[in-house]
Amino acid sequence: MTVPHLHLLGGFDFNGVGATAPVFSRKTRGMVAYLALQAGQAQSREKLAALLWSLNGEAQARMSLRQAVSSVRKAMSVSGGGRFLTEGANIALHLDDFDFDVARFEALAASTAPEDLERAVAVYRGDLLDGLGLREEPFEEWLRVERERLRAIAVSALGRLINHYTAAGDPAACIRAAMRLLAMEPLREDAHRALMRSYAAQGRINLALKQYELCRDALQRELRLMPEAETRNLHEELRARRGAPPVRPPASSAEPEATRPPTRYVKSSGVNIAYQVTGDGPVDLVYVPGWVSNLDLAWASPRFTHVLKRLGSFSRLIRIDKRGTGLSDRNVGLPTLEQRMEDMRAVLDAVGSNRTVLFGSSEGGPMCILFAATYPERTAAMVLTGAYARGIWSKDYPWARTVDEVQQDIDTVERQWGEPAEMRNAAPSLIENMVEREWFAAYLRNSASPADAIALWRWGTEIDVRDILPAIHVPTLVLQRTGDRWVKPEEGRYLAAHIEGARYVELVGRDHVIWGEGCDGLIDEIKDFVTGALPAARAERVLISVLALAIDGAADDAKASEQADIVRDELLLGGTEIRRSRSRLLAAFQRPTRAIECAVAIANHLRPNGLDIRAAIHIGECEARGGDFSGIAIEVTSRLLDHARPGQIIASRTIRDLVVGSGLTFEEQGEMKASGLPGALQYFAVTGAPPAL
């Protein structure tokens, strides 16, 4: 049975039963979190105002508190559980029938049973209210203390799991717990030693010795200390054992496990993203795979291993498992394209890559396209292979698969999941190769659950990035197989024709995957392009989402000041003001969902004061000069605002297509013509708000 939930570990997620998730302002989220961690205990209004609005005047703080209380009361009234009580000067939040992750985490972590401890660390998705900052010192101090307290509980639970699995002789489980602990506490020598012993117990001596090096380097870098004597002695014991004959890997393994690269993690908006780095070439190249993937299982294919090693021969190769797949966090819901783009940026930040060649295969192509348009200063060049601009057939894109063909694909996936992979479309040249078919089936099984794989397949067909192709100004190579059964040559030609200066190369062959027939020819083309491409000049043209907003209703000076405060508060998260008057606003955002969230939050704040907004959001290329923006996208958005009715938020078709998976819903409204546009611009009303982030 579905129950309402409030999740605060790794971010903020509030949702009721059968109700649209409310879009709380940042300070309202902070108030809900503060009350939830003291559920059932009454807190005075004066205390809450001082905690969250200490920088405001007393009258303004009381007004802001009233608005926050009203917002939470409405959300709780339709949540299907819990109680929000306001009695006189006191406020209390009761979470009866709510799934409150902090309470569940603390209860599980207090247990001595290892299965409960495993569930506890699974619930701990990240730090309390990860990503939320309010610039209010009283609240920030409270949040710091609570974050450290809960983090210490998670660390303790992982330490107890390591001890349990060590005593039980379960090295694989011990490795999982120790790696999770080291992601949180990288200087914990006891966790490093547990990893070394567990690797050694599996016969992976080289990996155990590598772990010592990681421990030593971290201690020297952060503390200028050498490892403890116990750690050094363990290292010497393992070095002495390395002389023994190595354990042979299974015949089906292409790469001995001990020589495979370590999988590392970086957190992006509360989600753990897995990545691996190999090769030592002079240029960084990030490979974004299609559909689903598994970093470790890729090395079990001789063909895929060969491709990865060749890529790493001329580059520092960075590979990721996208959120929801492989070794990254699962069960995180359907992603948006921009979330996955930001995940990739987090990985590049973690490995210190400031300018990178993007290599997108299949469904990984649109993500690279969005990144290249959004972050041109960080994109050295782009390679696309078997990629597409739109995921499903339309009159003006007639090469993609039809709705019926997509359903046939999904039926096949569901029917054959777990069996030796049917390679008829992915790699027909390997259809008789049972080793590759068995490997590919295992690769898919370990990349996603059947339900998640099907949901991600459907999600991939809803992508449409055609409108942002003209915003790409980096060297681009488009590679396409002549007989690819999933992505037709016309789709590769379309990409090349609509990306400025793109080079198009058509290769003979039928395989969609990059490790299929003729893979060496494919890598040769990439190597020649990457090693010969000139670095792209730092671009002044950028892709931004533009929000145009008008406040309807007469406003006196006090209300005008309040409006300005609300707008300023919402824009602090990801927005840059372009220009503003008393009743109108233009702002730029890098993320389209953030532009919509901002409009929704401002509308929710102003409505209790009898004020409605009209808002329009569009995405396009603009000229950026410092903090100033200009360009056709701004003018189009301003014109689009004229079509919004009071209380309505509208978005262009391009925005709608880019936020697939966000939980937003849209209703078609009409078309608008404007100079500078190749045709009429479809626009839609936002009819369902996204979950609060």
Asked if pLDDT for residue 257 goes beyond 80, the answer is no
Task: Tell me how far apart the alpha carbons of residues 331 and 609 are, in angstroms, rounded to a whole number.
Answer: 39
Give the bridge partners for 275, in sequence order.
264, 320
For residue 540, name the pLDDT band (cuts at 50, 70, 90).
low
Task: Tell me how far apart the alpha carbons of residues 121 and 272 are, in angstroms, rounded to a whole number.
Answer: 13
Q: Is 404 exposed, middle or buried (0-12, 13-18, 19+ CB in 10 A)?
A: exposed
Mean pLDDT value of segment 593-613: 85
Asked if pLDDT for residue 258 goes beyond 50, the answer is no
The pLDDT assigned to 555 comes to 53
Q: Provide, rounded to the nearest whole percent, the portion of the chain with pLDDT above 70.
A: 90
- What would the two tokens of residue 206 be? 């080289």
The pLDDT assigned to 283 comes to 87
Whether the CB-CB separation of 625 and 540 falls below 8 Å is answered with: yes
116-158: pLDDT as tens digits: 999 999 899 888 998 787 888 899 999 999 999 999 999 999 9
323-368: pLDDT as tens digits: 999 999 988 888 889 899 999 999 998 887 888 999 999 999 999 9
Residue with more model confidence, 541 or 12:
12
75-84, 365-374, 643-652: least confidently modelled range: 75-84
Query: Which position has the token pair 């690279």?
Result: 368
- What would the two tokens of residue 371 be? 């990144």
Give the bridge partners for 580, in sequence order.
585
196-206: pLDDT as tens digits: 999 899 888 88
**What is the pLDDT of the chain when averaged over all its residues?**
86
Superfamily of domain 169-244: Tetratricopeptide repeat domain (1.25.40.10)
250: helix, strand or coil? coil
The pLDDT assigned to 485 comes to 87
Spell out the CATH class of 278-532.
alpha beta
Reference 328, options 340, 316, 317, 337; nearest CA is 340
The pLDDT assigned to 627 comes to 58
Asked if pLDDT for residue 609 goes beyond 80, the answer is no
Whether the CB-CB separation of 14 and 110 falls below 8 Å is answered with: no
CATH topology of domain 1-159: Arc Repressor Mutant, subunit A (1.10.10)
657: helix, strand or coil? helix
Question: What are φ and ψ of residue 650, in 5° steps?
Answer: -120, 155
- Say which residues have a Cβ less than 8 Å from residue 131's Cβ, sequence separation at least 6: 11, 269, 270, 693
The pLDDT assigned to 18 comes to 61
Whether the CB-CB separation of 272 and 328 falls below 8 Å is answered with: yes
Mean pLDDT value of segment 608-629: 80
603: helix, strand or coil? helix
Asked if pLDDT for residue 521 goes beyond 70, the answer is yes
Whether the CB-CB separation of 469 and 495 falls below 8 Å is answered with: yes
409: helix, strand or coil? helix
Task: Give the helix ranges, DSSP H, for 20-170.
Answer: 26-36, 45-52, 58-77, 101-109, 114-123, 137-168
Asked if pLDDT for residue 691 goes beyond 50, the answer is no
Q: Provide, rounded to the nearest whole percent, the portion of the chain with pLDDT above 90.
A: 50
For residue 571, name the pLDDT band (cuts at 50, 70, 90).
low
48-62, 370-384, 550-564, 587-601: least confidently modelled range: 550-564
Whether the CB-CB separation of 329 and 266 falls below 8 Å is answered with: no
214-236: pLDDT as tens digits: 899 888 888 888 899 999 999 99
Is this structure's pTM higher than 0.75? Answer: no
Spell out the CATH class of 541-688.
alpha beta
The pLDDT assigned to 325 comes to 94
Q: At what angle do helices 519-532 and 302-313 cross, to 10 degrees?
A: 20
Length of the chain: 693
Task: Tell me how far apart the alpha carbons of residues 315 and 281 are, in angstroms, rounded to a whole number.
Answer: 4
Reference 467, options 416, 543, 581; nearest CA is 543
Q: At what angle do helices 58-77 and 45-52 cross, to 10 degrees?
A: 110
Stretch (H or E) spanning 13: strand 13-15
Asked if pLDDT for residue 112 goes beyond 50, the answer is yes
In eight-state DSSP terms, residue 300 is G
Mean pLDDT value of segment 30-36: 94
The pLDDT assigned to 105 comes to 95
The pLDDT assigned to 565 comes to 65
288-324: pLDDT as tens digits: 999 999 999 999 898 999 999 999 988 989 999 999 9
Task: Tell me how far apart the alpha carbons of residues 448 and 327 are, in angstroms, rounded to a whole number.
Answer: 9
Whether the CB-CB separation of 146 and 37 falls below 8 Å is answered with: yes
Q: Which letter, b or e, does each residue of 502-517 get, where b requires 16 or more Cβ atoms within 10 Å of its Cβ?
A: bebbebebbbbbbbbb
Q: Which letter, b or e, does each residue of 330-362 get, where b requires 16 or more Cβ atoms within 10 Å of its Cβ?
A: bebbbbbbbbbbbbbbbbbebeebebbbbbbbb
Q: Map out the domains of the chain as residue ranges.
A: 1-159, 169-244, 278-532, 541-688
Reference 634, options 658, 654, 616; nearest CA is 616
